[in-house]
């Protein structure tokens, strides 16, 4: 199976084809997969409702395209190399055949637990092979998985379970992350108390800590699977049947359940994997993302396994038990492709080059970056010290909503420029528009990044609330999908992503809505109001700056205490990733006459720049700006 591009002229040729005749282009790619029944029509769409359908009436199961399609040739090839948190725990190598059997067995287990096609299943697991098994077992029987990052709080888990009405949660007793363990099962217990839809909780034994098991509801993974057949006949799915829901933050309070469907997601993610990474069968691919993010879904699980690749899956953190752990793992498993986030690169860069010295890194061929803009310095460091100047870097821009990479170099083919995601992949039609929605044609332009034509893996809806999907992505600029990012197209037509233009902050590659964090801070009993903005942070990309108004009874000597309890509150409501880096207590917030917080001013002050605040005369309370500046030490 191959639609692989081998040269720059090949890319330019294929790209033109994909734009001139998208349906023919994607039909040609899709034909290489195994469909139980082919589609009647390739595409129907409009961005008004929106309605997007690919490979209409095609029937398939995505796991048959991973397993049955490969088993004759790849049965004994390693699918997953699992590296434990503790380097003394032996790595596990699972072949395609072994993974197939585990998936079949767990698929049957889910059926025994009364999970049926269309039911929602929450996966709240550490980075262990069972997380992949659980995802694929859901896909096998047509259940819709929703993976929740196992760093989210009980409260966040409750919200997600209730939003999608999940029947089952799959979790573990606990998880290992560096020197710490996290009590996943007790978090699930707390979360599920407020969830009427949950019938069963399946618990994988990882840390062997003591957990309480609720009779009739909770069952151990090893008990549930004992003696269950490994043979499972895959459910026949429609191309547009839901494959999964993944919750992601936006500019409004509550995370949205982004919905991806089966056929288009399969075709697009595999196509982009093969081309961007220039994948070859002997490669060993390591993506360091957690499975709870879209990067883990698409480029640890689905695309590599659809390609018959060998992936490394790592349970732990970059610096445990020592600062060279990532590089040790690369040498140990002869990793050829390493795909990580700029925040990790900057954090490792800050440790100096000593931790790299003991390792050769000579297996590496391609480096990848994802999740946030990569600054020139981090790019150069990655290129020089990890890639030793010989590995191309693919800076891949995309989103939870897009399912797969949209703007990226093809490794070793597209000439790169540090901090540029470069050119759109085949089938992707980006446009830059001004704030009124006028397309800025030609080069050397900067504005809002939109996409004007569908590609197979774009989101179809937000779960249970189609209007919200329309509002969020398709109403800002008429007839366009709005990404929420700003971008610049330079004199060569290369795209540089400038970051979010909406109220979303990107902290270490994790998306958080400012409203979401504000709501969490406001849960603190002594907080009256708060405003959250992002500010440039050396390691995290963006840090969280919170302006907080306390109850008038609070005297400044209590600020330190309240800061700490705000951090605890935020950790409880969302998770540790949402903890503000800086908290400033103020007596008021700059507001317009219509009562809107002027975030522009707060952003400037958080950046440490008090000189260019712009026009503040329209404020209801201009005097507050002086107070805030002073308190911020400006
Ligand atoms: C894959 C992922 C999406 C947001 C997106 C951007 C930012 C992601 C890059 C990037 C600059 C990149 N999904 N972003 N990749 N910015 N260059 N290569 O991260 O849904 O979690 O986040 O992340 O702002 O809109 S996500």
pLDDT tens digits for 545-593?
A: 999 999 999 999 999 999 999 999 999 999 999 999 999 999 999 998 8
Mean pLDDT value across the chain? 96
Does the pLDDT of residue 594 top 90, yes or no?
no
Query: What pLDDT was estimated at residue 263?
Result: 98
Q: What is the pTM of this model?
A: 0.96
Strand, helix or coil for residue 270: helix
The Å distance, Cα 619 to ligand 1 centre, comes to 33
Tell me if 256 CB under 6 Å of ligand 1: no
Does residue 412 lie in a domain region? yes
Does the pLDDT of residue 307 top 70, yes or no?
yes
Question: Are residue 179 and residue 304 in the same domain, yes or no?
Answer: no
Q: Summarize the confidence of residues 309-326 as an average pLDDT.
A: 98
Q: Summarize the confidence of residues 218-234 as an average pLDDT.
A: 98
Does residue 1 lie in a domain region? no
Give the CATH number, domain containing residue 367. Answer: 3.40.50.12780
Place of tokens 């088993």: 71
Question: Are residue 292 and residue 182 in the same domain, yes or no?
Answer: no
Question: Are residue 409 and residue 266 in the same domain, yes or no?
Answer: yes
Query: What pLDDT was estimated at residue 612?
Result: 83
Q: Which residue's CA lies nearest to atom 19 of ligand 1?
A: 371
Question: Are residue 84 and residue 25 in the same domain, yes or no?
Answer: no
Question: Are residue 210 and residue 254 in the same domain, yes or no?
Answer: no
The Å distance, Cα 2 to ligand 1 centre, comes to 27
Tell me if 484 CB under 6 Å of ligand 1: yes
Does residue 401 lie in a domain region? yes
Question: Are residue 338 and residue 483 in the same domain, yes or no?
Answer: yes
Three-state helix/strand/coil letters over 443-492: CCEEEEEEECCCCCCCCCEECCCHHHHHHHHHCCCCCCEEEEEEEEECCC
Asked whether 128 and 83 are in contact (CB, 8 A), the reply is no
Question: Are residue 226 and residue 271 in the same domain, yes or no?
Answer: no
Asked whether 218 and 201 are in contact (CB, 8 A), the reply is yes
What are 256-296's pLDDT values in tens digits? 999 999 999 999 999 999 999 999 999 999 999 999 999 99
Does residue 599 lie in a domain region? yes
What are 116-170's pLDDT values in tens digits? 999 999 999 999 999 999 999 999 999 999 999 999 999 999 999 999 999 999 9
User: Confidence band (pLDDT; 50, 70, 90) for 3?
Assistant: confident
Tell me if 400 CB under 6 Å of ligand 1: yes
Alpha-carbon gap, residue 86 to 329, rounded angstroms? 12
User: Confidence band (pLDDT; 50, 70, 90) for 538?
Assistant: very high
Q: Summarize the confidence of residues 84-102 as an average pLDDT.
A: 98
Does residue 617 lie in a domain region? yes
The Å distance, Cα 601 to ligand 1 centre, comes to 25
Query: What pLDDT was estimated at residue 595?
Result: 81
Query: What pLDDT was estimated at residue 250?
Result: 86
Question: Are residue 195 and residue 268 in the same domain, yes or no?
Answer: no
Does residue 3 lie in a domain region? no
User: Confidence band (pLDDT; 50, 70, 90) for 178?
Assistant: very high
Does residue 191 lie in a domain region? yes
Number of Cα atoms under 13 Å in the Cβ half of residue 111: 20
Query: What pLDDT was estimated at residue 195?
Result: 98
What are 47-57's pLDDT values in tens digits? 999 999 999 99
Question: Are residue 215 and residue 253 in the same domain, yes or no?
Answer: no
The Å distance, Cα 103 to ligand 1 centre, comes to 31
Does the pLDDT of residue 1 top 70, yes or no?
no
What are 359-400's pLDDT values in tens digits? 999 999 999 999 999 999 999 999 999 999 999 999 999 999
Q: DSSP readout, 84-150?
A: -SSTTSPPEEEEHHHHHHHHHHHHHHHHHTT--TT-EEEEE--SSHHHHHHHHHHHHHTPEEEE--T
Closest CA to 241 of 49, 68, 508, 461: 461
What are 464-508's pLDDT values in tens digits? 999 999 999 999 999 999 999 999 999 999 999 999 999 999 999
Alpha-carbon gap, residue 538 to 375, rounded angstroms? 10
Query: What pLDDT was estimated at residue 364?
Result: 98
User: Confidence band (pLDDT; 50, 70, 90) for 196?
Assistant: very high
Tell me if 508 CB under 6 Å of ligand 1: no
Give the CATH number, domain containing residue 164. Answer: 3.40.50.980
User: Confidence band (pLDDT; 50, 70, 90) for 210?
Assistant: very high
Tell me if 339 CB under 6 Å of ligand 1: no
The domain in which residue 421 lies consists of 8-61+240-499
Give the CATH number, domain containing residue 528. Answer: 3.30.300.30
Residue 549 backbone phi and psi in degrees, to 5: -105, 125
Q: Is 349 left (phi over 0), alpha (psi -120 to 50) or beta?
A: alpha
End of a domain among 464, 499, 534? 499
Question: Are residue 307 and residue 445 in the same domain, yes or no?
Answer: yes
Alpha-carbon gap, residue 16 to 426, rounded angstroms? 8
Question: Are residue 297 and residue 223 in the same domain, yes or no?
Answer: no
The Å distance, Cα 418 to ligand 1 centre, comes to 16
Query: What pLDDT was estimated at residue 613?
Result: 87
User: Confidence band (pLDDT; 50, 70, 90) for 255?
Assistant: very high
Query: What pLDDT was estimated at residue 55?
Result: 98
Q: Which atom of ligand 1 is nearest to the CA of 408?
A: 18
Query: What pLDDT was estimated at residue 28?
Result: 98
Tell me if 500 CB under 6 Å of ligand 1: yes
Alpha-carbon gap, residue 266 to 336, rounded angstroms? 23
End of a domain among 434, 464, 499? 499
Residue 595 backbone phi and psi in degrees, to 5: 90, 5
Tell me if 124 CB under 6 Å of ligand 1: no
Number of domains into which the chain is organized: 3
Question: Are residue 467 and residue 528 in the same domain, yes or no?
Answer: no
End of a domain among 206, 235, 264? 235
User: Confidence band (pLDDT; 50, 70, 90) for 460?
Assistant: very high
Q: In the chain, what percentage of residues exceed pLDDT 70?
A: 100
User: Confidence band (pLDDT; 50, 70, 90) for 402?
Assistant: very high
Substitution candidate for ligand 1 out of 376, 398, 428, 509 with most atoms within 8 A of CB? 398
Q: Which residue's CA lies nearest to atom 18 of ligand 1?
A: 397
Does residue 20 lie in a domain region? yes
Q: Which atom of ligand 1 is nearest to the CA of 397?
A: 18
């Amino acid at each position: 199976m191959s639609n692989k591009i081998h040269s720059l002229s090949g890319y330019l040729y294929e790209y033109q084809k994909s734009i001139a005749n998208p349906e023919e282009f994607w039909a040609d790619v899709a034909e290489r997969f195994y469909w139980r029944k082919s589609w009647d029509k390739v595409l129907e769409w409009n961005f008004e409702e929106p309605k997007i359908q690919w490979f209409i009436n095609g029937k398939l199961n995505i796991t048959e395209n991973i397993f049955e399609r490969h088993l004759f040739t790849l049965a004994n090839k390693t699918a997953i190399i699992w590296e434990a948190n503790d380097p003394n725990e032996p790595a596990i190598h699972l072949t395609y055949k072994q993974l197939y059997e585990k998936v079949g067995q767990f698929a049957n287990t889910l059926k025994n637990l009364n999970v049926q096609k269309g039911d929602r299943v929450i996966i709240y697991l550490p980075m262990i092979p069972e997380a992949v098994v659980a995802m694929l077992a859901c896909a096998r029987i047509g259940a819709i998985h929703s993976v929740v990052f196992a760093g989210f709080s009980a409260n966040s888990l409750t919200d997600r379970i209730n939003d999608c009405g999940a029947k089952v949660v799959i979790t573990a007793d606990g998880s290992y992350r560096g020197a710490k363990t996290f009590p996943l099962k007790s978090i699930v217990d707390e979360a599920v108390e407020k969830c009427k839809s949950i019938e069963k909780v399946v618990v994988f034994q990882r840390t062997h800590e003591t957990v309480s098991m609720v009779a009739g509801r909770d069952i151990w993974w090893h008990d549930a699977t004992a003696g269950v057949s490994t043979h499972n006949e895959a459910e026949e799915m429609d191309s547009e049947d839901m494959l999964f829901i993944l919750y992601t933050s936006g500019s409004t309070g509550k995370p949205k359940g982004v919905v991806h469907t089966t056929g288009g997601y399969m075709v697009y993610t595999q196509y982009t994997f093969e081309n961007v990474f220039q994948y070859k069968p002997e490669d060993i691919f390591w993506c360091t993302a957690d499975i709870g993010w879209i990067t883990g879904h698409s480029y640890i699980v689905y695309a590599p396994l659809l390609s018959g690749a060998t992936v490394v899956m790592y349970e732990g953190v970059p610096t445990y038990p020592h600062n060279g752990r990532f590089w040790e793992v690369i040498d140990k498993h002869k990793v050829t492709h390493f795909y990580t986030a700029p925040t990790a690169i900057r954090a490792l860069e800050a440790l100096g080059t000593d931790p790299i010295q003991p390792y050769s890194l000579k297996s590496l061929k391609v480096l990848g970056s994802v999740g946030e803009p990569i600054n020139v310095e981090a790019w150069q460091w990655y290129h020089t010290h990890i890639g030793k100047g010989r590995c191309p870097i693919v800076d891949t821009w995309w989103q939870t909503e897009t399912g797969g990479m949209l703007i990226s170099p093809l490794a070793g083919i597209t000439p790169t420029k540090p901090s540029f995601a470069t050119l759109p992949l085949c089938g992707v039609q980006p446009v830059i528009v001004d704030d009124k929605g006028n397309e800025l044609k030609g080069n050397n332009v900067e504005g809002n990044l939109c996409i004007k034509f569908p590609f197979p893996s774009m989101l179809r809806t937000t779960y249970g609330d189609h209007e919200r999907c329309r509002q969020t992505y398709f109403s800002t600029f008429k007839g366009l999908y709005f990404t929420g990012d700003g971008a610049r197209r330079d004199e060569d037509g290369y795209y540089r992503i400038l970051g979010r233009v909406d109220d979303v902050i990107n902290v270490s590659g994790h998306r958080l809505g400012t409203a979401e964090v504000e709501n969490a801070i406001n849960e603190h009993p002594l907080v009256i109001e708060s405003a959250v903005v992002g500010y440039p942070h050396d390691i995290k990309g963006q840090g969280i700056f919170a302006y907080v108004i306390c109850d008038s009874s609070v005297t400044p000597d209590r600020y330190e205490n309240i800061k700490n309890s705000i951090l605890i509150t935020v950790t409880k409501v969302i998770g540790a990733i949402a903890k503000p880096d800086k908290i400033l207590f103020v007596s008021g917030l700059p507001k317009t006459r219509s009562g809107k917080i002027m975030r522009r001013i707060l952003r400037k002050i958080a950046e440490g720049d008090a000189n260019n605040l712009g026009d503040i005369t329209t404020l209801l309370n201009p005097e507050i700006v002086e107070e805030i500046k002073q308190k911020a030490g400006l």
